[in-house]
Chains A and B, each alone.
Chain A
């Protein structure tokens, strides 16, 4: 189960819409071991493509070091699909390398309604999970 604030939920969707028709991508960091997504970190899609994303390697180093310094980890890794469903593709699964993260997919294929779903991807296996949007914070 992914629990996320309404504010973070709308930030993810807004980023995906803003970068459409390219795939958008980013991280939400949280305190190590807490499973709480707190700090929104939109990332550059170095591929700038409607069908592929990749974090810029030096930006990734900077962000990962910063999380390490702050005793955080990547709680959410999100990206968008611009013409297909919000479900992990074969490449999403094969490159998933943070077993503790919630992989959030947003589909921007519909201009009016964004579809946001969350998954765990561990050892090549995808498990969908509920997304609980917390309005209280």
Chain B
């Protein structure tokens, strides 16, 4: 079973520079735990005590996982998960 996970520039330090890594799992949560086994520290950049980190966008194929159940979103063989840090800021 293989799910492609596309990694943004700023997180490639956890993947040895790779733009894309593979993992497996039945949910996004399981997939991230699977990735953590080979890319230590990556999960903490994506997940905090409340679930998916607020300013990290995670997409399952073409959809934002916030609308698919967040960490509980089911994932399947052949899916592509894309991670993009949110682009945001403000006056203070």
A residues in contact (CB < 8 Å) with B: 23, 25, 27, 43, 47, 49-55, 57-58, 60-61, 64, 77, 79, 81-84, 88-92, 95-100
Contact = CB atoms under 8 A, between A and B. Distances in A.
B57 A57 contact: yes
Q: For A25, A90, A96, A97, which residue has the most chain B Cβ atoms within 10 angstroms? A: A97
Interface of B: 8-10, 55, 57, 59, 62, 64, 66, 82, 84-92
Nearest to A26: B87
Given A57-B57, A61-B59, A61-B84, A52 B9 contact: no
Nearest to A46: B88
Contacts of B85: 95, 97-98
**Secondary structure type dominating chain A contacts:** mixed
Given A89-B92, A91-B92, A98-B9, A25 B57 contact: no
18 contacts: A23-B91, A49-B90, A51-B90, A52-B89, A55-B87, A57-B57, A57-B64, A60-B84, A61-B62, A84-B91, A89-B90, A89-B91, A90-B92, A91-B89, A95-B86, A95-B89, A97-B87, A98-B10
Given A57-B57, A82-B91, A95-B55, 11 more contacts: A23-B90, A47-B88, A49-B90, A52-B89, A57-B86, A60-B86, A61-B82, A77-B87, A95-B85, A97-B87, A98-B85
Nearest to B65: A57
Contacts of B90: 23, 49, 51-53, 89, 91-92
A91 B82 CA distance: 24
Top 8 closest pairs, chain A to chain B, by CB: A97-B85, A92-B89, A52-B90, A54-B88, A51-B91, A55-B87, A91-B90, A57-B57
A89 B9 CA distance: 23
